[in-house]
Amino acid sequence: MDNVRLVEVGPRDGLQNEKRPLSVADRVQMIEGLIEAGLTTIEAGSVVSPKWVPQMEGSTEVLSSVGHREGITLQMLVPNFRGFEAARDAGAEEIAIFASASESFSQKNINCSIAESFDRFLPVMEGARNAGMRVRGYVSCVLGCPYEGPVALSSVVAVASRLHAFGCYEVSLGDTIGIGTPRAAATMVRAVAAEIPVSSIALHEHNTYGQALANILACLEEGVSVFDSSVGGLGGCPYAKGATGNVATEELVFMLDGMGIKTGVDLPKLARVAVETAAKLGRDPVSPISRILAAS
């Protein structure tokens, strides 16, 4: 495989668990820096209640401020039809919906069962079709749940397949608590790929136990070519105690560059975004690569 596509989730999944919210202006600057570094698919934010996720307040303003860019996809995560309408009115061209492979996590995260979550998706999918918007699907807890522990592979396959059947052009398989290991990740991807095209599968790895890059490599060898990552290793999950950040985009780019796989990302520019964003959050980037490259 010569090329992969990275989905930068830092401005949404990366920031939603940080104690210090960034202003709309700071988030716009962050996204501008990511675009300048060569990233072309970016989660700009999510339309959720600021009561529950205050870090995402003003996401529609962020999207409107960045505006349409040729060749750039700015994605908005929406939990329901009201969120879809707000994203549409702000100019979103792509939205994302999220489901869980774990019943317990579904209840804790979005206060409904897996079946009920799909009922909520119906009007969103219809609205997106009418508006000519693409929809990306997320599946959480594909390799383990903070409440249930192991998650049945059959549940992962069922949820991913249903999202694809609903019309999601791509389904991102999320190791929400970062508990997976390479063989388990590859087995999971293989099972999902038996039901939907591997070209429609993405991987979303958290690095809680330091396994993210190893898992990505294992799934790359299974034919997956789309990977979610977060600049500076920002992130976590507010509903999964102890879950650390997403795999750092700069670490992933460094690995792929070393393998001769093209990402189109300028690593020093990306490192500067990581360092600048972390400073605004009052913390250091998770990845030492960022500090090394940003100083060079």
Three-class DSSP category at 124: helix
Determine whether 93 is exposed, middle or buried from the number of CB atoms within 10 Å of its CB (0-12, 13-18, 19+): middle
Our answer to whether residue 112 is catalytic in this structure is: no
Three-class DSSP category at 23: coil
Q: What are 261's two structure tokens?
A: 């796989």
Helix ranges (DSSP H) in the chain = 24-36, 59-66, 81-89, 103-110, 114-131, 153-166, 182-193, 212-220, 249-258, 267-281, 288-294
- Measured CA to CA, the distance from residue 287 to residue 290 in angstroms comes to 6
Q: What are 241's two structure tokens?
A: 């105690």
- Measured CA to CA, the distance from residue 101 to residue 149 in angstroms comes to 12
> 141, 145, 168, 237: which is the annotated catalytic residue?
237
What distance separates the 2 farthest-apart alpha carbons in the chain?
A: 51
- Measured CA to CA, the distance from residue 75 to residue 204 in angstroms comes to 15
Return the DSSP state at 247.
P
264 Rama class: left (phi>0) / alpha (psi -120 to 50) / beta? left
Just list the catalytic residues: 237
